[in-house]
A and B are shown apart, each in its own frame.
Chain A
Amino acid sequence: DGGITQSPKYLFRKEGQNVTLSCEQNLNHDAMYWYRQDPGQGLRLIYYSQIVNDFQKGDIAEGYSVSREKKESFPLTVTSAQKNPTAFYLCASSATSGEMDEQFFGPGTRLTVL
């Protein structure tokens, strides 16, 4: 299960707190993605990054923020502005977003807001 890792596996947070989810890849991939997975909803794109120091909003970016300071890392911050943050979060990467490359997924982080 190497290649793309996420930590922690489980995360608990109190309402009103920001929390940062880690995503690291050693595949030398240019593109990285964050998805949110809710039961019966499939995978919805939060943010994506095609290159270092650049990222774009996905379909459900409100209440989230990201950074891409290194090629290997794409952390996601869930802010207190996110109304319903409890979900399973998946990070993915692909060689390039300009071609039809397979997206490789990390093992996910399950966030629970108490």
Chain B
Amino acid sequence: EAQVTQNPRYLITVTGKKLTVTCSQNMNHEYMSWYRQDPGLGLRQIYYSMNVEVTDKGDVPEGYKVSRKEKRNFPLILESPSPNQTSLYFCASSLSSPRTEAFFGQGTRLTVV
């Protein structure tokens, strides 16, 4: 089944403790992206990747890192999480750039206390 898989689905952590949210897709897509969704602010793009070893900042990249060493994986890293990073995070992929249908993961609800 074609899908985008995020892990974990739920995470509660403490301020400053490094964490990684994994994202994997099995569709051989070139384009992958991370978003956060907050009430009243909607979905905002954090980082995106056009292909392996190619990443770029979205609208809200501060406090986040990403890497794209393999085509299928695009982890989101929070080196020192803060409470303002409490949010619902989505990973998405599409065949080539966003100019094709996007597939979204189920989301990761992160709480930083």
Do they bind each other?
A: no
